Structure 1
């Protein structure tokens, strides 16, 4: 292909474009601007193909040694399914852990509730036993008191009704407190707590109506009043000191009205 020249040796132009004569004798104008654009496009296309080829070669290197592509794909699917199975298994593990935690918490709560109920029952039994012990130790002390049998004009249960609240059980022993809340100590054994009769005698000494509940010098040996007592109040004739508790209480109220006062 060569430029077409006129008789003067100048390049023949067609629409401002030089005319070329091809090897087969055909003539055609050459559009240089279009050619540049086309060349640039072809270069870009070639570059794209080259980069794609290089990327494909790089990816192909990752699969070097793999001859059976179909088997490789199946293996990848197996691995994928295995990973999904692992996720499912992990979810099941968390579910099992949560269920076990809830079960443990429920068991602990049930055990705590049962322990609280058992503690409440034991506390009730303990209070009942303490009440029985209190009644036996303190009530027995009143019923067995030599001081009451010898010096009191009223039965022991009535003495207990008036002075029983002053006695408590401490470390298995009967201990008395005076009206000021002070523990009563023995005069015969300094530093030691007074025994029952000594403490009761101290309490009676502080009682303003003691002459009405103690035997007078002229009382008979039966423990009942002799018909006259300090204070000059005649017996009302109600109740019976030799009867049951209700009769004795009525008798003491009628003959010693001040005893009913706290």
Structure 2
């Protein structure tokens, strides 16, 4: 299987690429910053791709077997379109090239609803601040992306992690359809969960929530990192 990864040079994309190589996949890692990509492997092809360029996207998916998108950009007050426009180009190219399996990363905040299990502070302070103020333009575009994927006609799975954090340790992460009680998801768990979907149709045409409950950071640590996170 040749796995095509968009956003491969971001913190989640690099972990996903490394884990895919460890599992024996052939990987085409796509990034706008080829020179900074840290991984090398005989089964790895690193290629420049701008997802706003339909021709480059189509060339990038050609010959692939499945596509995973970990596209990401920082919060911004300006309108964000990389998720919706970039993913639509990916969808169109997959149809042109005859690929069917698409897995893409969204967020639990894209369509956030309050849940008693999450507690008052997260329901009424943290989540509204991130969703409706700090990250409004980002999550609005993720919503447009989710809609495009859901009507794409592809064999898709949308991943909705909670607040992402970094750790070297993979956990016995939890999954559920649509929503799961959990404030955090480690990137290493998210990457593993995405790769696991390639071997099953259990969450085909579904939204998959994933959460980590071991050695998680504080809420304020995550807020600070989210406010200053770099492009993926």
TM range (shorter): under 0.3
Higher strand share: 2
Could you tell me the TM-score, scaled by structure 2's length?
Answer: 0.24
From the CA coordinates, give the structure whose radius of gyration is larger.
1
